[in-house]
Amino acid sequence: KMAGSSAPWIGSAYLFLQSTCKTIALPALYESSQKKPCVFKALKLALADCTGSVNGVDMLKVHCSHPHLIVQLKFCKRENCRQFLRSYREGALQKSLQSHLQLSLATTTVPLEVELKAGSEHLDKMLKDEDRCLECIYREKPDRLPDEEITQLEECLKSLMLHQSTNNNVAGKDCSPLKSPPQPYPPQGSSLPTQLTFIFQGQLFDNRTITPDDHQKFAKSVSKKWKQVARSLQKSCRALRDPVLDNVALEYEREGLYEQAYQMLLRFIQSEGKRATIARLVAALEENGLVSLAEELLGLHASEDCS
């Protein structure tokens, strides 16, 4: 064990994926030069969702073993691995994979069966014993560096996102299956959990809840456009209907725009709870031309190292 050791926590596992739809064969799609980037992108985004970080887990290699697509995973932090296991156990990883594959492949649905192994251990049989699963993964050290193909796909994905952010007014036919429209929250009635990551200006960000600091920065900078932002948020938040916004404007008219904006966002946070995420606020700001404020909330003015 690594108690008292300064060595990093490193472990490895294999994720087995199989489509239960007869018309969709994941290995065949991955072996197709046209579809491979689409499948890789879905895998990358889903893994980021379930670990809460773009760098939560590394893909070392993707094996095609019909009917399975097998992804070799490398974990460099115990907590990231723990979060992955919980997402896997609760079915969040499976749902996220299905959602991202559906978007990337521009298809109706991609039903999946998933299985997780570490060495000879079938982790699905012991998911309730999280510590035992962690120990099994920790025992299995990665036997390789990321495949050259994986490195190339990573670069391709980064380039695509940058291209998309600079040309977001052009939707070319060739790029449409690869396009990753920001979906910071599921549509009403959806059973999908709130996504843990979102894309802004070609970079992937953790979809955290709105903080008090975000709240104050928003109220200070949004000025007269607070009502426009509120109307963007009201599409998925019943607590921000027009009569509520009119009441906020009237009640806090003397205090000025800062307090009106602050009280509006407070109602959003109180109503939505954990679903009051930074991605939803950023999407509303972007929709109303307040990109600079969105960048400020995401720390892009202070640092460019967020990718």
Q: What is the mean pLDDT of residues 266-274?
A: 92
Considering the segment(s) 197-298 as one domain, its CATH architecture is: Orthogonal Bundle (1.10)
| For residue 83, pLDDT beyond 80 | yes
Would the pLDDT of 188 be above 70?
A: no
> Per-residue pLDDT for 194 more than 70?
no
- Does the pLDDT value for residue 44 go beyond 80? yes
**Average pLDDT of the residues in 233-260:** 93
Query: 291 and 284 in contact (C-beta within 8 Å)?
Result: no
pLDDT reported for residue 160: 66
The end-to-end CA distance of the chain, in Å, is 33
Average pLDDT along the chain = 84
- pLDDT exceeds cutoff 90 at 143: no
This prediction has a pTM of 0.54
What percentage of the chain carries pLDDT values higher than 90?
62
If you average pLDDT over residues 222-238, what whole number do you get? Answer: 94
Is residue 167 pLDDT above 70, yes or no? Answer: no
Peptide bond into 187 cis (omega under 30): no
Query: CA-to-CA distance for 191 and 70, rounded, in angstroms?
Result: 26
Average pLDDT of 266-295? Answer: 94
Element spanning 183, H or E: none
Residue 162 predicted with pLDDT over 70: no
The residues near 15 (Cβ < 8 Å, ≥ 6 apart) are: 70, 71, 73, 114, 115, 116
What are the distances in angstroms from CA 1 to CA 47, 68, 75, 83, 132?
Answer: 27, 33, 16, 20, 13
pLDDT score recorded for residue 58: 94
Q: Which has more pLDDT, 179 or 65?
A: 65
Q: How far apart (Å, rounded) are the C-alpha atoms in residues 88 and 111?
A: 15
Domain boundaries, the chain: 11-152, 197-298
* pLDDT at res. 173: 37
Specify the range with the lowest mean pLDDT, choosing from 128-137, 166-175, 218-227, 256-265.
166-175
Would you say domain 11-152 falls under CATH 3.30.1380.10? no
